[in-house]
Amino acid sequence: MRLLRIVAVVLIAAVLARESRLSGSQRAGSGGLKTRHILLVTTDGLRWQEVFGGADRALLNKPDGGVADITALKQDFDRDTPEDRRRALLPFVWSVIAEEGQLFGDANAGDHVQVTNGRNFSYPGYNEIFTGWADPRIDSNNKVANFNVSVLEWLNRKPDFHGRIAAFGSWDVFPFILASHRSRIRVVAGWKHQTSRNLSAEERMIVRLKEQTPRLWEECCYDSFTFQSALAYFKRKQPRVLYIGLGETDEWAHAGRYDRYLEAAHRVDDYLKTLWETVQSIPEYRGTTTMIVTTDHGRGDAPVEWKSHGAKIKGSERIWVAVLGPDTPARRPSERNAPATVTQSQIAATLAAFLGLDYRGFAPQAAPPIAGALPEAAQAR
């Protein structure tokens, strides 16, 4: 009997501890929202043109697109209509996110989704994503610690989120963008890897592969390592907020390789599918997770300026945003009453609002949450 009483006490304690964790999560996700976990994913410099129109036929050649095997690339991604081409390139985005969530950024349909920093390159863009406003002092991609407190750092200061936020990025500037020295957020970026003693066997294997693989870009790790590292960490640690910053779409575009650019975008779509399926397989995350996907900047048009971006490159201010989760009304782009107007600066407050929190109370200069991405009551934050 004594043993049974001990077992009963242990079980009750475990239940109470779990209820305490859940109640803390529910307090954070107040206002009737179901979201208690956030996945934020960016893919550097992926154009809205490919997201909404698939492979650009003007670049499926060697002179303008640097394509090595035109026949094979067309077989993979060329179709008769833009709708079919985008589904071939991004099947998860168009079969799941577009059907069950929302997509913003189709300029051909009249959407105005863009950055506000005027620089149209990476560090200013990521600062705008994470802080909710465009800081004119950030005018380069130099490895300088961000002066600004990001929404991730702000969340990490709260008891419900402290130590449960992590960032994995292909670009080695992310520790500076997220001010990891000050924010105390776990940031694993570039070719550096995790050093914890508690790594899983999967994580240790990724570390070894990373160390033994020749590098094409010194400042940017391959997205496969970044994603698999983030996924393995996610499964082991189950964070409240996870950021994954992918970079190959930008690297291959700058290199003028449209074939590699499309292949990288297609892999990103598969990563999103894998991440979402993993979420659905974990009871604590299923039905309580919102995923936000976007990019730091756009690019110019074919035949030349698609390789570049910046203040002088027309169109590189245009971006796109995708949202999927239990609190986002399912609405296809064609079902909206009017074209969407969204800025990159709205992402930070949107992320916080999904968790029932008012980021603008801390950073009043930040833009408000994205209209339509959340229920009306939450949009007031």
Query: Is pLDDT above 60 for 121?
Result: yes
Residue 14 reports pLDDT greater than 90: no
Nearest residue to 105 (alpha-carbon basis) of 304, 269, 342, 348: 342
pLDDT score for 7: 38
Residue 12 has pLDDT above 60, yes or no: no
pLDDT in tens, 326-357: 999 998 777 777 889 999 999 999 999 999 99
Contacts of 158 (CB under 8 A, 6+ apart): 28, 357
- For the chain, which domains are there? 37-379 (3.40.720.10)
**CA 164 – CA 202 distance, rounded (Å):** 20
The predicted pLDDT at position 272 comes to 98
Residue 375: band (very low, low, confident or very high) from pLDDT cuts 50, 70, 90: confident
Q: What amino acid is encoded at 127 in this protein?
A: N
Q: Does this model's pTM top 0.85?
A: yes
> What 3-state DSSP class applies to 103?
strand
Structure tokens that stand for 47 in this block: 């154009």
Check: CB of residue 291 under 8 Å from CB of residue 276. yes
pLDDT digit string (tens) for 61-70?
Answer: 999 999 999 9
Compare 195 and 83 and report the one with higher pLDDT: 83
Average the pLDDT over 244-256 and give the result. 98
What are the tens digits of pLDDT across the range 219-245? Answer: 999 999 999 999 999 999 999 999 999
